[in-house]
Chain A
Amino acid sequence: MENNMIYMRDIVKSYKIGKNKLTVLKEVSLEIKAGEFVAILGPSGSGKSTLMNIIGCIDVADSGEYILKGENIKARNEDELAHVRNREIGFVFQKFNLLPKYKAIHNVAFPLLLRGLGKEQAYKKATRLLERVGLSDRMNHKPLELSGGEQQRVSIARALSGGPSILLADEPTGSLDSKSGSEIIEMFLALNHEGNTIVLITHDLNVAKQAKRIIHVRDGKVLEQ
């Protein structure tokens, strides 16, 4: 358990829809070690997105234990969770979720700015990361001036900028053509090779197969690890 990046035991999460209670996660337990590249695979409605939200600390479980990098998440208030998200989690979303008003470089610098870093320092690191994802000539473009593949690379750079413990990618290729999609997967493989822990959520078996381990989720339960 010591070298577990993520340790989950009996996580339960349910939502109220009208008068009915819908249990989305039914006592999910899983462990992910530092440096792993894990795919969480499941059809839509399986609860994998909810699982990802809980792993990423943007949602909280009703019950069960979640220990991230040795820290118990249950006891955290909203601002502490924000702090955890800023430091430990790098999100890559299916629809990129970049801030359209800001240039690519500012988007990438944002997690550092939120940390209180000055603009100059934050931009320095953002520049390095954009160079690394191959967008050194697109830094001053706004998201809508970029192609889907480019936007996703910007969001990977943003996810990396905070120096997170986990890269959490939710259907990162879902909005991309197959060429851009495989470029993104290549990038994740390279990042994992450098030691980054990556959790990739997908419904696509071909994408999941790129990962080193697949966790199947169905009906709110983890079927196999």
Chain B
Amino acid sequence: MNLIEIFRAVFMNIQGNKTKVFLTTLGIIVGALTIVLVISIGNGSQASVEEQFRNLNVGTLQIMPAFGGRATERLTSEVAAQIRAEAPSIKNISMILAARADISYSNTSASASLGGVTEDLMFINNLEMAYGTFITEEQNEDAQRVAVIGSDIAQELFGDEIGDVIGERVTILGRRYEITGILKGMGDSSMGGISPDSAVFVPYKVAEKYIVGRLARPTIIALAKDIDHVESAIEEINLVLQEVYRNKSDQFRIIDAGNRLQSAKNSARTMTLMLLAVAVVVLIVGGIGIMNVLFVSVKERTKEIGILKAIGAQKRDILLMFLLEAIMISAVGGVLGILGSMLAMPIMNYFQVRAIPTNFAYLLAFGFSVGIGTFFGYYPASRAAALKPIDALNYE
């Protein structure tokens, strides 16, 4: 029998049993819907993680004072310079001195995170300039009083004039600083205790001299060449620390910041996979439902199968009739589930669950539905095909 005729027969049968087909397909609908939602939520949470760490390079390392114990040693520009010279796995390195300070411009003022940093921080944190330039090596060496201002602070201080303030002056702790750059908005992200949007950056030496004082404890932030050089970078930094601080080098610790990003990503992924497994279980239960209904259907239609066999239907014809029925039921279920998930998206948003549906999610849900239908449809279909014509014909 050609496929068109088999399809016609399957359609007729499904049309005659709409309610039964819908009930059968419920399990598949729920399964497909769950798959799409789970993947979308997973995408949402991964996107959140990525946004949170957007400015963080995976090769980022932080050297900071260790917790506890009496800290007698502090990091210095000289140590940073030595690391830069002796650690070939490191691409960029910057000092960070963090403090809070009020910053004012004409008659407005704002409270900002103040960062004393060097040129390289721009590359390490992927900072982007809206106007002007970032702090230069020269400005740091000469301890020039210049300031690069984060987008939120700039908005607060300058409002509409934001584009015209390069070269103007702001006041920090009673001293005047030339504005040399305004940063682009970077979103919610924090590096070395400083969120760039609400920060003001000045040269490290300026911060040490005028703002924080010589007793402050700076940190060092460094960027490995790439993710594969993180381990060697840590070893190289440790060697320098041991050389400089001898037996006091344990007053510092090196934090592999890229690791934090990776583990946050991993936990988001693990969550998604776990939920996905639940969705697959739901689908399998749906598939078993299809199998049961199909078995009943084979029983109900035994006489029909007998008649078809008597007039010359081959095993393949009967097999395909039932298998295609299962596949079509599950395909319809998959489509309904996907449509349902589309309707569910606004509800998720209403409850502030971040969900990002993708074509991949839709395809996976559909593919899984049809796969499950085929798998669980095969057994009853092959039982139907294997019926002996004489037994089927005499079945009442």
Contact = CB atoms under 8 A, between A and B. Distances in A.
Same complex for A and B? Answer yes
Interface stretch (A28-36, A37-45, A97-105, A195-203): A97-105
Given A58-B390, A83-B314, 4 more contacts: A58-B389, A101-B12, A102-B12, A113-B1
B300 to A, nearest CB: 12
Given A101-B12, A101-B16, A86 B311 contact: yes
Contacts of B225: none
Contacts of A87: 312
A118 interface: yes
A110 interface: yes
A82 B12 contact: no
A163 to B, nearest CB: 12
B393 A86 contact: no
Interface string B4-40: 1100100011001000000000000000000000000
B2 interface: yes
Given A99-B304, A114-B1, A91 B310 contact: yes
Interface majority SS on B: helix, strand, loop or mixed? helix
Contacts of B304: 99
Contacts of A82: 309, 312-315, 389
Interface of A: 53, 56, 58-59, 78-79, 81-83, 85-87, 91, 97-99, 101-102, 110-111, 113-116, 118-119, 158, 162
A78 B315 contact: yes
Contact of B309 (A53, A58, A99, A162): A58
Q: Which of A59, A114, A115, A162 has the most CB of B within 10 A?
A: A114
A19 B306 CA distance: 27
A114 B12 contact: no
Contact of A114 (B4, B303, B306, B308): B308
A91 B303 CA distance: 15
A83 B312 contact: yes
B312 A86 contact: yes
Contacts of B4: 119
Contacts of B308: 99, 110, 114
A59 B312 contact: no
A76 B263 CA distance: 65
A162 B315 contact: no
B315 A85 contact: no
Contacts, number: 70
Interface residues of B, number: 25
A223 to B, nearest CB: 25
Contacts of A118: 2
The 7 closest A-B pairs by CB, nearest first: A86-B312, A58-B389, A59-B390, A111-B311, A85-B312, A113-B5, A97-B307
B50 interface: no
Contacts of B307: 97-99
B178 interface: no
Given A58-B389, A58-B390, A116-B2, A162 B12 contact: no
Contact of A119 (B5, B12, B306, B311): B5
B256 interface: no
Contacts of A113: 1-2, 5
B317 interface: yes
A162 B312 contact: yes
A162 B13 CA distance: 24
Contacts of A98: 307
Contacts of A101: 12-13, 16
B325 to A, nearest CB: 13
Contacts of B314: 79, 82-83, 114
A158 B311 contact: yes
Contacts of A119: 4-5, 8
A56 B311 CA distance: 10
9 contacts: A58-B310, A58-B389, A58-B393, A85-B312, A101-B16, A114-B1, A114-B311, A119-B5, A162-B312
Contacts of A116: 1-2
Contacts of B16: 101
Nearest to B13: A101
A115 B313 CA distance: 8
Interface in B349-378: none
B2 A85 contact: no
